[in-house]
Structure 1
Amino acid sequence: MEIRGKVHEIGATQQVTESFKKRDMIVAYAENPQFVEYIRFEATQDRTSIFDNLAIGEEVEVSFNLRGRPWTNKDGVTTYFNSLVAWRVTKLGNAAPAPSSPGYADMPAPVDLAGSSDDDDLPF
């Protein structure tokens, strides 16, 4: 899965156990600009470095996997957790611009067809 947005926050790498580390990044996702969503992605182990070269406010595309798992507490109540595990982040600001179609600025200047002559000879 992929999503595009702006980097809102980048967390520090957390050493959870001796053999497990993780890092979070929050992306502001504005499919509807009136209701911005702040989505938390996590990277684990050697992938924690994929957030290193990012800056707050940069436009990015995040490739991620959706993970879900149950957890049952001591009272037997099961709760479900979801994680968005990032595996690639691409900066969009440095992407080459798409070839544009000719626009108004590329058009030649208008020509005055009325001219300054009083000759009204029309061929029809």
Structure 2
Amino acid sequence: MELTGKIIQALEEQSGNGRNGTWRKRDYILETPGQYPKKVCLTVWGDKIDQFNIQPGQDITASIEVESREYNGRWYTDVKIWRVNNVDNGTGGGGAASGNQKQDQPDVSTFSDDSEGDILPF
């Protein structure tokens, strides 16, 4: 799935230790365009935080994965970003926010929780 919109807020990075070692994540608030804009909290995990370098005010298209999990009888949902592309607003910009790639060569890096060889976002 993909979401397109403007990053209106970047929340503080969070980190900790889990059963798979040290983890870090950062949440971003994306506002969708249109007559009835929606705000969506998107999460970036691990080294993708530095790779994507998402900034407030930036227009992006985010490839996402939606996942829910249960903890102590309550359900929690994450919207994880596994690829980001800048939206070209006619300013000559564009390309991938995750690297120095040309606009006609999209970023194919993927999100991976705990394995290096995965090419799928889940």
Whether TM-score is above 0.5 comes out as: yes
Unaligned runs of 5+ in 2: 96-122
- Return structure 1 stretches of 4+ with deviation > 6 angstroms: none
1:84 aligned counterpart, secondary structure: strand
Instruction: Say if 1:5 and 1:60, in contact at 8 Å, map to a contact too.
Output: yes
TM-score by length of 2: 0.63
2:83 pairs with one of 60, 79, 88: 88
Instruction: Give matches, 1:4-43, under 5 Å.
Output: 4-17=4-17, 19-30=22-33, 32-33=34-35, 35-43=36-44
Cα distance, 1:11–1:43 mapped onto 2, change above 3 Å: same
Cα distance, 1:50–1:41 mapped onto 2, change above 3 Å: farther
**2:66 counterpart residue number:** 66
1:19 aligned counterpart, secondary structure: strand
Among all aligned residue pairs of Structure 1 and Structure 2, give the percentage whose two residues are the same amino acid: 19
Unaligned runs of 5+ in 1: 73-77, 97-124
TM-score by length of 1: 0.62
Count matched residues.
89
Structure 1 residue 62, shift from structure 2 partner: 0.5
